[in-house]
Amino acid sequence: MSTVVAQSLHVFGFRSHVANNVFFFDEQIIIFPSGNHCVKYNVDQKWQKFIPGSDKSQGMLALSISPNRRYLAVSETVQEKPVITIYELSSIPCRKRKILNNFDFPVQRFISMAFSPDSKYLLTQTSPPESNLVYWLWEKQKVMAIVRIDTQSNAIYQVSFSPQDNTQVCVTGNGMFKLLRFAEGTLKQTNFQRGEPPNYLAHTWVSEDKIVVGTDAGRLFLFESGDQRWETSIAVKEPTSETKNLGVIQESESLIQFPTLTSPVPSCEQVTMASSRSQLSPPQVFAIAAYSKGFACSAGPGRVLLYEKVDDKESYRESREIRIPVDPQSNDPSQSDKQDVLCMCFSPSEETLIASTSKNQLYGITMSLTEISKGEPAHFEYLMYPLHSASITGLATCIRKPLIATCSVDRSVRIWNYESNTLELFKEYQEEAYTISLHPSGHFIVVGFADKLRLMNLLIDDIRSFKEYSVRGCRESSFSNGGHLFAAASGNVIHIFSTTSLENVLNLKGHTGKIRSVAWNTDDSKLISCGTDGAVYEWNLSSGKRETECVLKSCSYNCVTISPDGKIIFAVGSDQTLKEIADSSVLREMPAFDVTYTAVVISHSGRMMFVGTSVGTIRAMKYPLPLQKEFNEYQAHAGPVTKMSLTFDDQFLLTVAEDGCLFTWKVFDKDGRGIKREREVGFAEEVLVTKTDMEEKVLRTEKEKQDILHRERIDDLLDKQSRELQDLECCSNQKLLLEYEKYQELQLKSQRMQEEYEKQLRDNDETKSQALEELTEFYEAKLQEKISLLEEAQEDVRQQLREFEETKKQIEEDEDREIQDIKTKYEKKLRDEKESNLRLKGETGIMRKKFSSLQKEIEERTNDIELLKGEQVKLQGVIKSLEKDILGLKREIQERDETIQDKEKRIYDLKKKNQELEKFKFVLDYKIKELKKQIEPRENEIKVMKEQIQEMEAELGRFHKQNTQLELNITELWQKLRATDQEMRRERQKERDLEALVKRFKMDLHNCVAYIQEPRLLKGKVRALFEKYVQRADMVEIAGLNSDLQQEYARQREHLERNLATIKKKVVKESELHRTDYVRIMQENVLLIKEINELRRELKLTRSQVYDLEAALKLTKKTQPQDVTEKVSGEDLPGIPPTMRLNAQEETGRIIEMQRLEIQRLRDQIQEQEPVPGLHPLAGMRLPSLLRSEVDFEVQTK
């Protein structure tokens, strides 16, 4: 294997199209897929650990974590076959526990998985057209049940277990909601659908038998045991005012590729349809997550709703709303809150909610913040930093700073820090970025867009363009090592620009196809380029001409690099080889073994080489390149590697791919030490700041100083006010005491008055009853009068209604005439208002600019406040984690105490059992003593037989030593033969090299013949031919060598032939000796087998005698002789001594087995030695010419 080792350190990226793509391992650690890895990420400490995918994996499809958080199931496709790998998360590093790859049923891939509540069973769903639901006992790799879910090839999105029942499962999909129960080895459906079911996108269990299901029409259903209990529609809300303000900006198209319709994650069609709908269209529910108070569900783009259970009812109410915030760094900020939430999960303590989106982003929110922001929507925050959402097309590093620059087809440019693993700068643009290059100083970048090539400054908080070139569709760019030039490839032309004068100093033309890669040599005197036309050119920048070229039309090159000494070019392309090119010819081709190399990079020390493949793996190999398949291959990306780069000190390898992920790798040698290069100066900390920015910051600081002064004055006024308040409180307290005394006096008076009034009330009650009787009689008479008056009034109302209808007709006619007059009047006014409105629009445009500048200042203030809040939240998180650690340790101490008590009980029970066994032992010892007296004669006979066996073993040992000596002789002869073979190969290689040299010479000589009519040109060509193929040292040595060369060759050849003849004779003699030894050993083995048979017969006699003794002692009851042999060797006959038990059966069996193995070994050796004389018929072989001397050959054979 290769001595070069690469260890993955950090990844900047996320894969959203994996089903169930994010979950918590504990309170601080989350697990998510990135590239072809699963990443364990500590949110507090910011470290990452990797769980690599399987070898030759084509990408992960689905994940699932067990409820006890010990196991992780990963669904992959390996060499077009589905594989499920189960990892044990508790081990460090995570190890593979089981691999499920042998299936007795048709399957293309597994699209959804779930563990049972006790983590013993695994539920898997296959993709259409099979659509099989498989119930596994995964520890034993056993299929417990299998059933076909759908016969119409509809999409299936999710499967799950009941949280407390291993036998209850749920499946949802397009037009499908099924509950199944495992019983008697089968899965049977327990619910039945009525009517035409909707498209169920997601579901979650909120209790043992209750499930919440979401649809693509924004509806939520609650099912209990298959029966619908509750239903609601998610309310469609108007876009926020913040989004409305940003609505003027043009909406950019989504560039992310989503999984197919069979995946549980929403398909590309679904997401694009959802994004193209208006804000008032029904929101799609792609994800639902349950927690103790209720559940959270996605509610359309950029929106999550929290539902809480209503007390004493089987229903839920919407409690809070969480939104994805608008990103001010984006070119189109409104797009950030239009991404769909695909997966959500709560932390074990339910303090944190994490969501993954369709644009490969991870967001998180603390649940306590949602409770604070009741009434208004809460907002998610980035869990790490904004990530690339599409294929990364460009990668670059610099020398003076630990920075990485990347660009992507998501129209963004990002600057990362690989030392602190953070995002330094980020900016989005209107056009796609195809290539990027970073100046060695780390202060400038050049970016190739679809319309222009831009040279930009990296400021402290912005990326700002200061020069644009009209180079359209630039796909490759690179700064020189010194930084004074940069190259930009557009189509088949390479433009060279100066970074000092910013002018185009040179254009290199020669390629007939698109240029795919360029590389500078160490001193920037030459430029190497390759393209789709199969050409690799070396350009001289001082003359602007091609120096060397190597054209292979059948190969479309992907990447090129050059060795540190500038002599050898390395290129990779579509022909699945790595080529070494020097002097316009291919020196060597190293095969890629069924993959295509897409990128290549060599270290600055020239000792290591790394290549990226079309399947996303990284291969590390040592330079010079190995002859065989000697390299280390690492799983990295889930798509073809697009770019690779090594840092200037050869410490880190950086890779990007079409999956939108950026990996950083630590490079080691075989012993685990880093490749150390001395740095004379540390990384630079300077940044660029424009003068206007500095002036703005000075003004801002002055304003802040004034604000501080105002705050101090306000604080003084508040202190003064507080003192005055204290004085007033003292005065008011004294007044209160006086008032309290007055209150006591008044209370006594009120008690006296109350007693007097109670007497008056008693008197009033008696008079009241008499008055009531009189009033009832009076009012009944009055009621009769009112009824008669009411009938008269009704008759009057009818008469008035008739009069009202008549007047109404007359008024309507008058009003129509007046409306016509008013209409003409107000049309004139409308024209006047439109003219004034146009004038006011101009004034509002000016006011809007002023408003935007004020809004920026407000946002900066709010950012400062949010930073301080973030620090406060971090400190609170640290305190909470420490408190949890203390509780965990207390719990562990309590568990240890319980285990100690259990152990003490166990020891007490064992002591009791030990006393009983000692009593039984005393009885057995007495029986053993009596039996020993009877068996002593037999032991003497066995000793004699043992001595015979030992003598036989000694004789076998002598045979073994002889055989080993013969093996040594044979290996020595083989080594001599191999040495001669190697010498022959070397000479043949030299012969091939000379033939290649002669061919090249003939071609050059043939070219010279074309100038036979032009003597001057012919003379120049012949002189050039002489200088190319004849060196001065060769001229000096030729005269001395030609005289004795042929004689020396003939003498060495004769000497070698004589040596080979003698070696052949020795081999023949030794083979004959081995044959005689083999015959003798066979005869001795026959004698040994006879003796073994005699020993067996004696063994039978001894067994029968032992049986007779046992019958006499009444130890066995009606047992057969064949059972006696088993009892003698077992524990049921404790009276027989160990020597008798071993020698009786086990010792003889062991000797027979040893003899059989020894005979087989000798036979194998003889079979290997017999064909030795005929392996190499060297006597008839024609030997090539040799250059080594006779003395060198003798040293080598010794």
Domain residue spans of the chain: 232-241+268-387, 392-668, 1046-1197
Give the Å distances, CA to CA, from 1144 to 408, 588, 591, 1091, 1151. 80, 69, 63, 16, 12
Residue 120 tokens, joined: 């013993």
C-alpha–C-alpha distance, residues 214 and 205, integer Å: 12
- Is residue 153 classed as helix, strand or coil in its secondary structure? coil
Give the Å distances, CA to CA, from 1080 to 332, 1021, 1085. 93, 77, 9
Question: What are the b/e assignments for 112-141, b being 16+ CB within 10 Å?
Answer: bbbbbbebebbbbbbbbebbbbbbbebeee
Q: Which residues contact residue 393 at a Cβ distance below 8 angstroms, ignoring those fewer than 6 apart? A: 407, 408, 409, 433, 434, 435, 642, 643
Q: Which residues contact residue 187 at a Cβ distance below 8 angstroms, ignoring those fewer than 6 apart? A: 133, 135, 145, 146, 147, 169, 180, 181
C-alpha–C-alpha distance, residues 643 and 640, integer Å: 9
Q: Which burial class, exposed, middle or buried, applies to 153 when counting CB atoms under 10 A from its CB (0-12, 13-18, 19+)?
A: middle
Strands annotated E in 263-366: 288-291, 294-298, 303-309, 316-323, 341-346, 352-357, 362-366
Q: Which residues contact residue 361 at a Cβ distance below 8 angstroms, ignoring those fewer than 6 apart? A: 14, 16, 339, 382, 386, 387, 389
Question: What are the b/e assignments for 265-287, b being 16+ CB within 10 Å?
Answer: bbbbebbbebbeeeeeebbbbbb
User: Which candidate, 652, 627, 654, 633, places its Cα nearest to that of 643?
Assistant: 654
- Is residue 628 classed as helix, strand or coil in its secondary structure? coil
Q: Is the dihedral of CA 878, 879, 883, 886 positive or negative?
A: positive
- The model carries a pTM of 0.60
pLDDT at 1189: 39
Q: Which burial class, exposed, middle or buried, applies to 494 when counting CB atoms under 10 A from its CB (0-12, 13-18, 19+)?
A: buried
Is the link from the previous residue into 377 a cis peptide, with omega within 30 of 0? no
Query: 664 - beta bridge partners?
Result: 10, 654
C-alpha–C-alpha distance, residues 515 and 518, integer Å: 8
Could you tell me the strand order of the sheet in which 378-379 lies? 288-291, 294-298, 303-309, 316-323, 378-379
Residue 720 tokens, joined: 């003064």
Asked whether the beta carbons of 1028 and 1004 are under 8 A apart, the reply is yes
Which helix (DSSP H) or strand (DSSP E) does residue 92 occupy?
none
pLDDT at 1038: 53
C-alpha–C-alpha distance, residues 1068 and 1162, integer Å: 19
C-alpha–C-alpha distance, residues 195 and 191, integer Å: 13
User: Which candidate, 525, 530, 453, places its Cα nearest to that of 488?
Assistant: 453
pLDDT at 795: 82
- DSSP-derived pairing of the beta strands 362-366 and 378-379: unpaired
C-alpha–C-alpha distance, residues 269 and 280, integer Å: 19
C-alpha–C-alpha distance, residues 454 and 456, integer Å: 6
Which helix (DSSP H) or strand (DSSP E) does residue 461 occupy?
none
Give the Å distances, CA to CA, from 250 to 429, 698, 920. 12, 35, 94
User: Which candidate, 476, 474, 496, places its Cα nearest to that of 486?
Assistant: 496
Q: What is the CA 1185 to chain-centroid distance, rounded?
A: 58
pLDDT at 1145: 58
**Nearest 5°: CA angle at 366, between 360 and 368?**
155
Fold exhibited by the domain 392-668? Methylamine Dehydrogenase; Chain H (2.130.10)
Residue 858 tokens, joined: 């407000």
Asked whether the beta carbons of 339 and 304 are under 8 A apart, the reply is no
- Is residue 1139 classed as helix, strand or coil in its secondary structure? helix
Residue 392 tokens, joined: 């990364």
Mean pLDDT in runs of 10 for the chain (1198 residues)?
83 92 92 94 92 87 93 90 91 86 88 93 90 91 89 85 92 91 89 82 91 92 88 73 39 32 42 45 89 91 90 84 82 74 93 93 87 76 91 94 94 93 91 94 93 92 91 93 93 93 92 93 93 93 90 92 92 92 89 91 90 93 82 91 93 94 89 55 80 85 90 90 88 86 86 84 80 80 82 82 81 81 82 82 81 83 86 86 87 86 86 84 82 78 83 83 84 85 88 88 86 85 84 54 68 81 83 78 81 82 78 55 42 41 58 76 72 41 40 42
CB under 8 A, 24+ apart: contacts of 280-284: 280/236, 280/238, 281/236, 282/216, 282/217, 282/218, 282/219, 282/233, 282/234, 282/236, 283/218, 283/234, 283/236, 284/201, 284/215, 284/216, 284/217, 284/218, 284/340
Strands annotated E in 760-863: none
CB under 8 A, 24+ apart: contacts of 1187-1195: 1187/987, 1187/990, 1188/983, 1188/1052, 1189/1048, 1189/1052, 1190/1051, 1190/1052, 1190/1055, 1193/983, 1193/1052, 1193/1055, 1193/1056, 1193/1059
Is the link from the previous residue into 624 a cis peptide, with omega within 30 of 0? yes
Is the link from the previous residue into 82 a cis peptide, with omega within 30 of 0? no
Name the one residue in this structure whose structure tokens are 């793509």: 21
User: How many residues comprise the chain?
Assistant: 1198
Q: Which residues contact residue 200 at a Cβ distance below 8 angstroms, ignoring those fewer than 6 apart? A: 157, 172, 173, 174, 175, 176, 177, 213, 214, 215
C-alpha–C-alpha distance, residues 347 and 369, integer Å: 15
User: Which candidate, 911, 508, 849, 651, places its Cα nearest to that of 7?
Assistant: 651
Q: Which burial class, exposed, middle or buried, applies to 343 when counting CB atoms under 10 A from its CB (0-12, 13-18, 19+)?
A: buried
